[in-house]
Structures are given as C-alpha cells and as structure tokens.
Amino acid sequence: MEENIVSPSNANEINQAAVGEWKNNENNISYNDNYDQNVVETLNNTTLSDNSVFENANIKTQENNCDSSFNENNTWVNQTEQKSHFGNTNNPGYRKGQGRFNKSNNGNNSYEKSWSNNSTSNNNGRGRGRGRGIIKRFDEENESFKSEYDSGFNNQGDNSVPSHRGRGRGRGHNRGRGGRRDQSSGGWHGNSEDGHKKHENDKPTIPKAAYIPPDIENEESISGIEAGLNFDKYKTIEVKVSGTNPPQSITSFNSSGLSTILLDNLSNCNFSTPTPVQNYAIPIIIDGRDLMASAQTGSGKTAAYVLPILHNLLKQPLQLVFDEHHCEPHVVIIAPTRELVAQISECVWKFSKGTDIKNGLLYGGTSVSYQKSKILQRGVHILTSTPGRLNDFVEKGIVTFSSVKFFVLDEADRMLDMGFKPEIERVLTHSTMTPSESRQTIMFSATFASEIQHMATTYLKPDYIFVAVGEIGGACKDVVQTVIEVTKFKKKNTLLDEIKKMENCQGTIVFVERKKVADYTAAYLSELDYPTTSIHGAREQPEREQALRDFKTNKMKILVATAVAARGLDIKGVNYVVNFDLPKTIDEYVHRIGRTGRLGNAGKAISFFDPEFDGLLAPELIRILKQADQEVPSFLNDASERILLASPATDDFNDIRTNVEVTSNLVATEEEEEW
C-alpha cells in the first residue's frame, strides 16, 4: 500500500482524539471520569506487538456511532491479528467506560479555548450510545496492542486515530461538544448528523499517514542541559562496583583515553567533567566488559555508554555491512519510547560528529519505507530503536544481527519487565544474533529491581560488572519532593492552586495515568490561559513530537503527559513535575520526578496522594522520601502503617550476586592520579 506521507510541516493538521466526559453547566466545567482503578493492572498484562502495522493498515474509522450497532469485525483488529508474530491475544486488557466522545486537537497543538458553551459556535453535537465489546487498541506507552473492553463511541468526524468499536446500542452519556474542531470557525462542531450518515453509507477508509520526522538541524537544537550548582555534589555519592577485576575508574575525560575526536566533540558539547557513572562505565566498556549500571536520573548515563562504544568503533573500525535489502548494525541500542530513541540517537549524532560512524534510528509512528531507505542507503554502524519497530524490521529481514558487537538496553529494567520482555527476547534469541560471548551487553537504568537483575543476567556474560552509583532506584536528591493528600475529585482545583503558587509555571510536566485525563487536563489549563500541550499514546507521532518541541521551546509552559514521558526524556528548564495521578510503582515515580533536578540543577516534584487509590504506594514512597532526605507527611505514615500491617517492607538490595567482590568508591581522585 502506498504511504501517505506527512511531513513535519503539515503535521499539525492531523487531528487527534481526546476522550473524556465533560459537563459544562454554563460556567462550571467539570469532568466525569469513570475510571475504574482495577482495570489498570489488567491493562498492564497485555500482549506486545508491533506498532508498524499501523502504517500497513488501511484504518477504517466509524464516525459518530450514535445509536448504531457497531462493527464487530473492526478492520483494525483484523489487520492486527493477521500478523501472527503479534502473538498472544489470550490476555486481553479490559477497560470500562461509558459513552464518551472524542475531541480533536486543533492545529496549534495546544488546547485553546474551544469549548465554551457558546450557542453561536454550532456546538451542538449529540452523541448517544453505549457500545461494549473487546477491541484492540494500540498502546504506545507500551508500544503494544491491547485488547480493551470499551464502551462508548467516537463522536468525531475525521479522527485519524482508529476508532474502536465493539457491539453497542442504547443510550450513552455524551452531551454536546463531541466532534471535530473546525479551525475556520474556531468552535467545536458537533457532527452527529453527518457522521451518522457517513457511518451508515460509506464507512470512509482513511489511509494511515506515514510521518517523516525532521532531521537534526544542528547541535544547538539538541544541546543538553547545563550542569547545575549541585553538579559537584556528585563527587560525594558512594559508588559500588562488583564483579571480578573491574578496570580502574577515570577522573577526567582528558585522562580517559577516549579518542581525540571524541574529546573535541565533548568539549563542543560543554562536557568538561565526567559524572560518576561516566567515570566508571567508560573504562569498563572500553575494556570489553559487560556492564549493568544504575545511577540516578539525569546523571549522564547515555553518554556513559555512547562514548566508549564510539571509542571502540573508532579504535577498531568495522566495515559497514549492508546491501539494498538488509543491513547488519554493529551496535544495537533499544529504548522503550519513541522520543527516547530519538534523543539517544541525537546523542550518538553529536558525539560521532566528524567521524565515519553511521547512525540510524527506527521507531513507531513514522514511515516504514522512509526509515528503511534511510538505513539501507548507506548502512549503519549504530542502530537505535524501539523494540516493536526493530522486530518488524527483523521479521522482514531488513535488519539482521550477525555483526552485532554491542547490545545496549537503555531503561533496561523497563525493557525486561513483563511488557517488553518478549520483544527483547525475540531480538536476543534471533537466529542471527551474535552469542553473548562474542558481543558486549550493556544495561543502564536508574532503577533495577532485583528480580529484573536476575532476569538480566541471562543475557550477560557471567563476569559482568555491576556499578551502582548511590542507592539503586533512589530518587535524585536535587528534587524537592512534596506530597499532598487530595481526593480524586479535588485534584483539579489543587492542581490549579499549585500552579498559581508557582512563581512561573514555565517548565512544568503534569503526569496523569490516562490519556483522556491528559487531554482533559491540558484543555482545562489552556482554558485558564496556561499554554499547555500534551503527550500520550493516543496522539499521532507528529503531534507528540510537536508537543515536545513546543514545550522545549517554551511555546507551551505546561506539558501534560502519561507514562510515555516518564523515562529518559531530557528537557531543559523543567522546574516542576506534578504527579496529578501517582503511578502504580515506585520506580515509575522515581523516573517521573527525575524529569526535573537533572545534572545538579534544582527541581521540585509535587504529588497528589489519594489514600483511596495510592495507599499501596505509601511504604515505598516513604522509603524514597527518606532516602532523598525529604520530609514525610504524617498522612503518608498513617497510610503506610495500614499497608505494612498487611505486608512487611522489603529490604534494600544491591548486586544480586552474592559471590562477587564488591568495591566501594573505587574512583581515584584527580590528585591521586596526578601524583
């Protein structure tokens, strides 16, 4: 099928779904969230699949399914299931909902005032219906397809996000404002009449647009965060190294032995002093050892593996292996989200500048044919990818692994948890993959639960080195953490209060659990004149990237995000992280609040704790607060006591191996070295 190419310039024109249930009683706008907490766990246990199917599929949307019976054989579902490697459909996640509408975003990628109860804005869309059925939906947080138990309908005219329909009939709960926002009139257009007719008559087929992301413009556009006042405090963090004969750590880039061209690039990027994780990881990787490393968020883990890998490639140049049909990268880096893959690839780009090293990237939501032609045009030494897209290319024989010398898992614990593990296993057990003895396997994360470490050892050589900078899974101490007790119905007002208290809300990320709450919250804040955008898995890729760009360039002050933005994203000037909804796991909390307070800069995290829903997190939250020398509010202690009565706290952990040598603070000081 021909791809419908969308370039960044017209990316904004794609509409996106925003779902939620609104009540607008004149001046009192409220949101009715029928969120069933229990379904989240189910959703987390769903299958992995490949996002690129999107691009190969003709997606049929059903518009405004008012009072209609829904097509059970959703085209999208069928397209998905035809792909046998998308595997397990036995484990559907179910999400309950009631009638709801989709609301498209406008062309500015923001949520401008748009839904005021204004009779002149033709704001009279009606949606009724209560359909239920198991449907397949792509979940970009997990880059996977999920089956969902969904009711409700799409009250939107030309939504390019596939609609999801099960059987349905009867009355729904939407009122008014569904539909597409027409830029020409600036209002919401309820389009139930039109939509209904189209649904009955022609069921339009909307080809999936294939997006070509913009190339990196220059170093300036991807420049990293500048070191903050607390950068020097990194020196005081305890570092534990375990494993036999670890190489001596370095104390400066100049004495690291890194190639001159890398040193030049480092200096161009204003990297003057290595961070602790760089002090340790660089010599270990240069020395050819496998490595599992944990260090706090924002402490330079990416450069800690990119630099020594580049160094080794430069020291022993490897011929590019490719032809018009396939290529064999020497380095494969896998990360969980698309934006993170792009960011890592930018890091490779800036440090390999001036060398012959070829760098490619693959991620979902973008044109398959474009990415294919990019990597086959000239071959790649280093390929950075999300797992789903990589496996798609592997299945098609476009990428094989016979030449792999380095295999890197960034956010390794996430890559090895239930969600991504099958995808990673598929790569590592691929018939062409070089055996672990013939490659270096490298894993990094700020969090590394011991069960994940156990799993990870399967892929590492037995003599791998383990480096722990500070407490594994600990929060960055430069983030001041505040926890506020608030019930779910008061969160919206509390958020507003907190934003008003900020001197300047520029650089605020608000994390929510659900995509529709992300859209609702972004719309709500925009309505109150706080320029806000959102990033989540139901947004089209161009919109996601535009949202990030708008936030990075301060066009938007606030970014409302789901888990897609929790890990790895390195954005300058993030001053606040607000956990509007707390995540389900403490590791996720650590990653989220780590979007601020990076590289020695100060940051602030505010979390809304709803005792009804967040109680289970209380003991771990207290542990993290204490570890980071933060105040523990009494309500949290109370909540924790209730939980601990049921289950005792877990111990701290380190390297899971008990039979290896452990060295603490192995780093030589500058003085020692000079001496």
Ligand X SMILES: Nc1ncnc2c1ncn2[C@@H]1O[C@H](COP(=O)(O)OP(=O)(O)OP(=O)(O)O)[C@@H](O)[C@H]1O
Judged by the rule CB under 6 A, the positions of this chain that interact with ligand X are 224-225, 227, 271, 273-275, 278, 295, 297-303, 446, 568, 570, 594, 598-599
* Minimum gap (Å) between residue 554 Cβ and ligand X: 17
Q: Of the candidates 165, 196, 197, 192, which has an alpha carbon nearest to the alpha carbon of residue 180? A: 192
Q: Of the candidates 163, 32, 18, 186, which has an alpha carbon nearest to the alpha carbon of residue 102? A: 18
Contacts of 111 (CB under 8 A, 6+ apart): 105, 519, 522, 523, 525, 526, 527, 532, 533, 534
Of residues 80 and 275, the one with the C-beta less far from ligand X: 275
* Minimum gap (Å) between residue 507 Cβ and ligand X: 14
DSSP for 602-621?
-EEEEEEE-HHHHGGGHHHH
Angle at 311 (CA atoms; ends 309, 316), nearest 5 degrees: 100
Q: Of the candidates 277, 254, 274, 273, which has an alpha carbon nearest to the alpha carbon of residue 264? A: 254
Of residues 484 and 571, the one with the C-beta less far from ligand X: 571
* Minimum gap (Å) between residue 355 Cβ and ligand X: 18
Question: What CA–CA distance (Å, rounded) separates 620 from 585?
Answer: 9
Q: Of the candidates 572, 605, 599, 611, which has an alpha carbon nearest to the alpha carbon of residue 296? A: 599
* Minimum gap (Å) between residue 251 Cβ and ligand X: 12
Residue with tokens 């900020």: 502
Of residues 241 and 250, the one with the C-beta less far from ligand X: 250
Output the residue with the shortest Cβ distance to ligand X: 224
Contacts of 351 (CB under 8 A, 6+ apart): 262, 265, 266, 269, 303, 306, 307, 310
Of residues 297 and 384, the one with the C-beta less far from ligand X: 297
Of residues 423 and 587, the one with the C-beta less far from ligand X: 587
**Over the range 487-513, which residues count as b (16 or more CB within 10 Å of their CB) and which as e?**
ebeebbebbeebbeebeebbbbbbbbb
* Minimum gap (Å) between residue 543 Cβ and ligand X: 23
* Minimum gap (Å) between residue 301 Cβ and ligand X: 3
Residue 288 is given by DSSP the state T
Of residues 475 and 499, the one with the C-beta less far from ligand X: 475
Question: What CA–CA distance (Å, rounded) separates 95 from 135?
Answer: 10
* Minimum gap (Å) between residue 374 Cβ and ligand X: 24
3-state SS class at 31: strand
Of residues 32 and 272, the one with the C-beta less far from ligand X: 272
Pairing of strands 144-151, 291-294: unpaired
* Minimum gap (Å) between residue 589 Cβ and ligand X: 13
Separation in Å, CA 484 to CA 440, 481, 506, 536, 607: 45, 10, 21, 25, 6
Residue with tokens 């061209």: 261
* Minimum gap (Å) between residue 261 Cβ and ligand X: 17
Of residues 157 and 298, the one with the C-beta less far from ligand X: 298
* Minimum gap (Å) between residue 570 Cβ and ligand X: 4
* Minimum gap (Å) between residue 277 Cβ and ligand X: 7
Question: What CA–CA distance (Å, rounded) separates 103 from 360?
Answer: 35
* Minimum gap (Å) between residue 426 Cβ and ligand X: 24
Of residues 176 and 300, the one with the C-beta less far from ligand X: 300
Of residues 516 and 598, the one with the C-beta less far from ligand X: 598
Of residues 1 and 229, the one with the C-beta less far from ligand X: 229
What's the token pair of residue 439?
């490659």
Element containing residue 380 per DSSP (H, E): none
What number of helices (H) and strands (E) belong to the chain?
Answer: 21, 30
Of residues 273 and 654, the one with the C-beta less far from ligand X: 273
